[in-house]
Amino acid sequence: MSTPPSQSAAQPPTEDQSVPSVTDETVSMPAGAPPSLSQSVAVPASEVVAVTGFAAPVVPGEAGSLGPYRVVKELGKGGMGAVYAAIDTRLERRIALKVMLPQYAADAGSKARFLREARAAARIKHDNVVTVYEADERDGVPYIAMEYLEGYPLDEFLKKKGPPSIPQIRLVAQ
């Protein structure tokens, strides 16, 4: 998941912040929540559950659940997987949950490659790389739980800001 260098890590909720709640098919986030998590869910939860292999949502209007994770909404989709905004109910923090799409999860080679990606990312400690919290498989769905970063995708950043300058490129390369 690529992110602009200007993004910072989302902070876990403090005592005065609540864990996100959902009502009437829309997601409500506490004050100070990242803007990308405070938008309504556009896809009916039943459709997301059928496509992803998630269990039914714990909170109405969310996309589903996977083990201890409440899956709030899809953030993006790639060739083999999708990334969701989620809540780790054990630690009450926002995370990004990357899951492998079911048609690829059925292939042992693809699944091994996905988990190798998680192990490789977990070994990297750098300001410009997300922290991997966990990689596992639940109910046949391989996933990577990682740090949630506020901001917007790199392609949107480039559309808004244009190509990076040489000093910005050097900063990212460090």
Q: Which residues of 78-94 are buried (b: 16+ CB within 10 A; e: fewer)?
A: eebbbbbbbbbeeeebb
Closest CA to 38 of 30, 50, 48: 30
Give the per-residue pLDDT at 36: 41
The C-alpha atoms of residue 72 and residue 21 are separated, in whole angstroms, by: 10
Domain range annotation of the chain: 21-173
User: Can you tell me the mean pLDDT for 75-85?
Assistant: 92
Grouping H, G, I as helix, E, B as strand and the rest as coil, residue 43 is coil
Whether the per-residue pLDDT at 92 is higher than 50: the answer is yes
H helices of the chain, in order, are 45-52, 102-105, 108-122, 154-161, 166-173
Query: CB of 149 within 8 A of CB of 8?
Result: yes
User: Can you tell me the mean pLDDT for 146-172?
Assistant: 88
Closest CA to 81 of 112, 58, 103, 62: 103
User: Using 50, 70 and 90 to split pLDDT, how confident is the model at 172?
Assistant: confident
The DSSP call for residue 55 is B
Give the per-residue pLDDT at 51: 55
Fold annotation for 21-173: Phosphorylase Kinase; domain 1 (3.30.200)
Helix, strand, coil shares of the chain, percent, nearest 5, are 25, 30, 45
The C-alpha atoms of residue 98 and residue 118 are separated, in whole angstroms, by: 10
User: Can you tell me the mean pLDDT for 79-91?
Assistant: 94
User: Using 50, 70 and 90 to split pLDDT, how confident is the model at 40?
Assistant: very low
Cβ count near 152 (within 10 Å)? 16
Q: What does the block give as tokens for 20?
A: 């996100």
The C-alpha atoms of residue 173 and residue 170 are separated, in whole angstroms, by: 5
